[in-house]
């Protein structure tokens, strides 16, 4: 249990961990219909986010990222959970809107730096359980 994780959106998810080396803007950085990272300057350009548990240091860019993330979640091409290195209200807002409008929950958790570094070394599928008392990340 990571008791000092900041749970922005509670929930459970499982999927392959996709570790991003740099912040990502969903607006202009991820194709809405396919969930493929389209930002040609991003180190993970061409990777699909669909169904993944996305670990990224931060969000980047426009407030329109919220609407793109919500649409990715609605279309089933978004991540199944998002783990952040810093709080990002734009990402949290997108997940909140998707939950309210589409009844699809994508947990969003801000990890403390030591937990972030530890999770970044994991390979394969993981399971996330996030609630008000913190988050648990285990192999899936």
Residue 73 parent element (H or E): helix 65-75
Give dist(CA 112, CA 135) in Å, integer.
Answer: 11
- Token pair for residue 63? 């407030």
Inter-residue contact 44 to 79 (CB < 8 Å): no
Instruction: Give the number of other CB atoms < 10 A from CB of residue 115.
Output: 19
Given 62, 63, 65, 136, the catalytic residue: 62
63 in catalytic set: no
Give dist(CA 80, CA 82) in Å, integer.
Answer: 7
Residue 124 burial by Cβ neighbours in a 10 Å radius (0-12, 13-18, 19+): exposed
Give dist(CA 80, CA 54) in Å, integer.
Answer: 8
Q: Which residues are catalytic?
A: 62
């Amino acid at each position: 249990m990571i008791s000092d994780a900041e749970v922005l959106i509670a929930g459970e998810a499982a999927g392959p961990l996709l570790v991003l080396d740099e912040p990502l803007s969903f607006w202009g950085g991820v194709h809405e219909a396919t969930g493929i990272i389209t930002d040609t300057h991003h180190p993970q350009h061409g990777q699909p986010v669909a169904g993944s548990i996305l670990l990224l240091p931060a969000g980047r860019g426009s407030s329109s990222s919220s609407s793109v993330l919500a649409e990715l979640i609605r279309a089933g091409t978004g991540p199944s959970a998002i783990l952040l290195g810093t709080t990002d209200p734009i990402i949290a807002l997108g997940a909140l809107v998707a939950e309210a409008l589409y009844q699809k929950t994508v947990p969003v958790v801000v990890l403390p730096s030591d937990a972030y570094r530890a999770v970044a070394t994991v390979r394969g599928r993981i399971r996330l359980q996030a609630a008000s008392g913190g988050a648990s990340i285990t192999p899936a």
